[in-house]
Chain A
Amino acid sequence: MNIYYGKARIISNNEITSDVYLLSLELPHNIETLPGQFLEIKLDSDYQPFLRRPFSIFDQPETNIVKVLYKIRGFGTKILSEKKDMLDVILPLGRGVRDLHWQRYLLVAGGIGFAPLHYLAQFLIKEGKDVKFLIGTRNNEAIAYRNLIKNNKIAVSIITEDGSLSERGKVTDLLKKIDLSDMVIFSAGPLAMFKEINHMLKGQECFFFWESHFACGMGSCFGCIIETVQGLKRICFDGPLFKAKDIKWELI
């Protein structure tokens, strides 16, 4: 069995910085997941909120433990932050990252986009790859995010828009200072950041962790499409990662 659908025990669900929580879940058996894949979590009582909510996998420290890093953005995430015992989950969903043939990786995180990139970084280090991680946040979340990176082989640079650190600016300001030759970029964060990064590319391979609202989350409804050069793709099932050069930017 590849996908687990059932209850997961909440090991912990704690705020690590303002409105950002780290959720640790124990599953009743082992599961295999890939960076970029996500969980669909049921949060309702009496159909409110009606749909499940998707969350990227932040880490999988054991074969039956999965972690989610999330920010409170609305009704659903607020409810999640108050959960204590069990959750009804479906995971892993999405194609995730399949091709890791490069040697040098640049991970560019805008805000809570840090979450799926963190899992990718773990994976890459295990595979003996070189990883540079840029994290940019509005306020001082970047500091808390950097502290979540346990592996010291990852070269981390952080920046904040509010000047909490000496470096003030956006993550793309950090990106401008880097020699991108021989590097492949993986990025997650706001759409505006993706567009900026896309403009900065000079032939480098670049992948974006695309975000969307999902209705079914499992490739059935075609409600979450993105236009690519290969036609319409489903963000939930065919993605959530898409190559920058495949995306029809004029239609975004």
Chain B
Amino acid sequence: MGTDLIIQIGELKLTSPLIVSSGCCEINSETMELIDLNQFGAYVTKTITFNERKGNPMPRTVEVTAGLLNSIGLQNDGLYGFLNKLLKLRQEVAIPIIASIAGFSIEEFAKLASHLAREKFIRALELNISCPNLEKGRDVEIMFAQDEHLSYGVVKAVRETTNLTLIVKLSPLVTNITSIAQAVWDAGADAITVANTYPAMAIDIKTRKPKLGAVTGGLSGPAIKPLTLRAVWDVYQVVKIPIIASGGIMNWEDAIEYIIAGATALAVGTALFINPKVGGEIIEGITKYLQEMGIGYHELIGSLQLD
């Protein structure tokens, strides 16, 4: 990869602007044959919660027009389960590992952060304050990312436990994403992921039942790109820390759009399900585009022409 695509996220220097989205690439015998992690600058783990979670009832995924609804429900081995497997993960993943975490209280977020920040194999944390698949009442009273003060509080509490690079993943379905973005920046975030999936649903008209076992889920894929692109553009106007764009990136053209809107890095997730080789194709496409346009990667960031 050319030196021109090196980016900085907090303390992390990444050799590629592509990041593997949380929950979209489990390291196993099939994915490791199909997906070339070397095309990516970093790998985000499946979100880790303190306690083990079974996740939501089936069906957990539904195809919709140009998109995917998921309601996995943060199935994961819990913190200790994750730590027990971390050495093995590190043996299989050569690129920097970013741990995605979700607590059900500010204290829990801080606890998770302080445990994981101690691990030398964890190079950054991504705070998942925006999962749309947690049950109101049972898991959380309100999604942290919906509220400016809660968002600030979580990030501040985590910031106080560690100097590790902190990325905060926002929800796109808020009244004013710029105020949330400013709040987390003020609280000490090093980067912001714009954004998580959109709360959404689908209904089977034959049975009149929801298509997802948990009724609602998160929408990802091409259907959301125009929405999240706008969110990236809005957040870019108000923060000076890097933005990791996440929302329907399927090819290099989508990536370029996001970079022009203000993204420093691109998270690719759902696209991997359809095209496991998408990473290499995006890098090749970006490189060619930059050459043809006679522009450098960093010049391109936020270079939307308005006049």
Contacts and interface: CB of A to CB of B under 8 A. Distances in A.
Given A47-B66, A215-B70, A232-B75, A220 B60 contact: no
A214 B30 CA distance: 15
Interface string B40-68: 00000010000000110011111111111
Nearest to A217: B273
A48 B24 CA distance: 21
B281 to A, nearest CB: 12
Contacts of B195: none
B65 A50 contact: yes
A213 B212 CA distance: 12
B274 A51 contact: yes
B159 to A, nearest CB: 30
A223 interface: yes
A3 B60 CA distance: 26
Nearest to B62: A213
Nearest to B275: A42
Contacts of A218: 28, 30-31, 34, 273, 276
A51 B223 CA distance: 13
A232 B60 contact: no
Contacts of A44: 274
B272 interface: yes
A127 B65 CA distance: 45
B61 A223 contact: yes
B130 to A, nearest CB: 18
B110 interface: no
A74 to B, nearest CB: 10
A163 to B, nearest CB: 27
Contact of A223 (B31, B64, B72, B272): B72
Contacts of B55: 222, 225, 232
- Band of interface residues on B: 35 or more
A9 B24 CA distance: 29
A3 B28 CA distance: 13
B33 interface: yes
A1 B273 contact: no
Contacts of B54: 232
Interface string A55-95: 00000000000000000000000000000000000100100
Nearest to A252: B58
Interface string A220-233: 11111100000010
Main secondary structure of the interface of B (DSSP, over half): loop
A220 B31 contact: yes
Interface in B1-59: 23-26, 28-31, 33-34, 46, 54-55, 58-59
A52 interface: yes
Contacts of A190: none
Nearest to A215: B61
Contacts of B46: 222
A208 interface: no
Contacts of B67: 50
B87 to A, nearest CB: 20
A224 B64 CA distance: 17
B75 A222 contact: yes
B222 A223 contact: no
A5 interface: yes
A169 interface: no
Interface in A187-224: 212-224
B298 interface: no
B111 interface: no
B28 A219 contact: yes
14 contacts: A42-B274, A44-B274, A50-B63, A52-B273, A90-B34, A216-B24, A216-B273, A218-B30, A220-B26, A220-B31, A220-B272, A221-B273, A222-B75, A225-B55
> Considering the complex of A and B, which 5 residue pairs feature the smallest CB-CB distances, nearest first?
A223-B61, A215-B61, A216-B273, A47-B66, A223-B60
Given A219-B28, A223-B60, 15 more contacts: A47-B250, A50-B274, A51-B68, A52-B274, A215-B63, A215-B70, A217-B273, A218-B28, A220-B26, A221-B24, A221-B70, A222-B46, A222-B55, A222-B72, A232-B55
